[in-house]
Amino acid sequence: MAETIKNFINGKWVDAKSGDTFETRMPAKWNEVLAVVAKSDKEDVDEAVKAAKKAFKKWKKVPVAKRGELLGKVGDIMVERKEELAQLMAKEMGKIISESRGDVQEGIDTAYYAFGEGRRFFGKTSPSELPNKINMTFLRPIGVAGMICPWNFPVAIPTWKMFPALLSGNTLVIKPASDTPLMVAKLFDIMIEAGIPDGVINLVNGPGSAVGNAILENPDIGVISFTGSSEVGKHIASVAGQSLKKVSLELGGKNAQIVMDDADIDLAVDGALFGAFGTAGQRCTATSRIIIHEAVHDEFVEKLKNRAEKMKIGMPWNEDTDLGPVINESALKKIHSYTEIGKKEGATLITGGEQYKEGECAGGWFYRPTIFTNVKPFSRLEQEEIFGPVLSIIKVKSFDEAIEVINDVQYGLSSCIYTKNINNAMHAVEDIDSGITYINGPTIGAECHMPFGGVKSTGNGHREGGWTVYEIYTEQKTVYIDYSGKLQKAQIDTSIEK
Ligand code: NAP
Ligand code: MG
């Protein structure tokens, strides 16, 4: 029997005003409906924002350390329910079980980080340019935060957004991706159990076109946090720009791994396999390109192909599965269209390139790990985000050429280099245009206490994660305190008393 997921508005689980619903299904067994979900529109969003606006007045007065303690409790309950959440994620999103556990763990880590931040929500102090005066800054919440999420990290990404926003004193309205509403509903159960007050957290399910747009257009939302495609991100920035909302965008990628001639090849193969085919290539930081020195190309390709062909494709909840399904049929079709594009562009398909339909996998959206060699810089295969288990290998003659190829794309999220040469490693850190660079590790594996985000079309300059996410959800208040007892004029009273 499928579960029912309602909206959560002003402390109550409620149906969409229209009474409409939609289904969420399992990518691994598409015939199985996991839940029936409220299909909301503008009216539901507006009511949620109204509740959040009202609750903000009280929530911002709760001391930040107390808000932190509530988030610590959220973390504790998530620890207790980690396995249950992970099993559900493997069903709803199709992520293999070990990675699903990791996704939940990232949410737990984010809760405990916020708990800690509750005791160090520091401003700055500064001496004044005038005598008998002191200057300082405080962090203030913005108000109601609107959040629009993708499906590929169904727990981690919503927690990255909600926990820092709440700690900062904002209330919120969140829209999960239509492919993974169940996971966010479970997070709400946990936050409610922890004691987050009514109206502070509001959940509105439904399509991006209706619910997403209503969030963008609501004048009472002060900050929008969006993670998703660059295409939708541009739309969001332009609509939110009309009302001068603060907007944080975490968008697409075309991440690459450089392998130099002095690299530990087995280590580089391990990294490529995990980076390219982990989460079936559906991570924003997934390795989509290998840029490899010609001297080690053949050895690397041979080893990688062997390993990719040995990957066990299967049900994501089985412990021995290496590769689960992709999210839905249209994703599968898009991925396969890039196999066709690659062939037409003259790249060489060395393995994969087709849907995997053996045994029980016939009922889901599985795609074989796919590798192309002879991929040319500036071809579509090399430039466009595919978001599936498809890897392009590009041969280069030198380190300088590798840097040129890695940077010649519109995106700039994650990157890595495998080399034993410290000079090359440091030049890579300096010269790769990306928000994240790993040395001798794959392009995936961000830790929650470090800034996360990218340059160029990957974002608009904000960083989630770590201490930097708090910049998204706060405004600075600058305070001047004059205890001289007289009118002092900055920039005008410039003489020094003798
Ligand atoms: P998407 O299609 O852009 O959707 C993301 C969210 O936006 C969903 O909740 C979607 O709702 C909503 N949406 C769609 N159209 C909208 C509109 N007109 N107005 C407002 N909201 C709208 O992306 P996705 O397919 O879910 O996720 C994959 C993409 O996310 C990839 O490009 C990936 O690189 C990127 N991503 C980036 C990061 C990062 O941190 N940089 C992390 C993860 C993923 P529906 O679900 O209802 O369509
Ligand atoms: Mg689903």
Q: Looking at ligand 1, which residue's alpha carbon is closest to its atom 30?
A: 228
For residue 228, report the distance from its CA to the centre of ligand 1, in Å.
Answer: 3
Give 294's pLDDT tier (boundaries 50, 70, 90).
very high
Residue with tokens 């299967």: 314
Give 316's pLDDT tier (boundaries 50, 70, 90).
very high
Position 2 scores a pLDDT of: 86
Position 39 scores a pLDDT of: 98
The strand pair at 246-250 and 3-5 is best described as unpaired
Pocket of ligand 1 (CB under 6 A): 148-152, 175, 177-178, 207-209, 212-213, 227-229, 232, 235-236, 250-253, 284, 385, 387, 413, 454, 458
Query: Does the structure show a pLDDT above 80 at 1?
Result: no
Position 216 scores a pLDDT of: 97
Q: What mean pLDDT is predicted for residues 427-442?
A: 98
- Look up the pTM and report it: 0.97
Please give the share of the chain, as a percent, with pLDDT higher than 70: 100
Helix (H) or strand (E) holding 394: strand 390-396
Which atom of ligand 1 sits closest to the CA of residue 464?
Answer: 40
3-state secondary structure of 34: strand
Q: What mean pLDDT is predicted for residues 333-353?
A: 98
Of 281, 271, 289, 270, nearest in space to 373 by CA: 289
The answer to whether 280 and 316 are in contact (CB under 8 A) is no
The answer to whether 133 and 143 are in contact (CB under 8 A) is no
Residues 43-72 pLDDT 10s: 999 999 999 999 999 999 999 999 999 999
Position 431 scores a pLDDT of: 98
**C-alpha to C-alpha distance for 411 and 115, rounded to whole angstroms:** 33
**C-alpha to C-alpha distance for 125 and 473, rounded to whole angstroms:** 21
For residue 49, report the distance from its CA to the centre of ligand 2, in Å.
Answer: 26
Helix (H) or strand (E) holding 309: helix 294-309
Q: What mean pLDDT is predicted for residues 177-183?
A: 98
Of 460, 455, 387, 319, nearest in space to 179 by CA: 387
**C-alpha to C-alpha distance for 346 and 173, rounded to whole angstroms:** 47
For the record, the structure tokens of 260 come out as 């130099």
**C-alpha to C-alpha distance for 362 and 297, rounded to whole angstroms:** 35
The answer to whether 320 and 421 are in contact (CB under 8 A) is no
Position 71 scores a pLDDT of: 98
Position 25 scores a pLDDT of: 97
The catalytic residue positions are 250, 284
For residue 328, report the distance from its CA to the centre of ligand 2, in Å.
Answer: 8
Query: Measured between alpha carbons, how far apart are the two ends of the chain, in Å?
Result: 85
Q: Looking at ligand 1, which residue's alpha carbon is closest to its atom 38?
A: 284
What mean pLDDT, rounded, does the chain reach?
A: 98
Contacts of residue 84, Cβ cutoff 8 Å, sequence gap at least 6: none
Residues 14-35 pLDDT 10s: 999 999 999 999 999 999 999 9
Residues 217-260 pLDDT 10s: 999 999 999 999 999 999 999 999 999 999 999 999 999 999 99
Q: Looking at ligand 1, which residue's alpha carbon is closest to its atom 12?
A: 208
**C-alpha to C-alpha distance for 452 and 424, rounded to whole angstroms:** 24
- Structural domains in the chain? 3-251+459-478 (3.40.605.10), 255-439 (3.40.309.10)
Would you give the distance in Å from CA 5 to the centre of its chain?
Answer: 23
For residue 375, report the distance from its CA to the centre of ligand 1, in Å.
Answer: 28
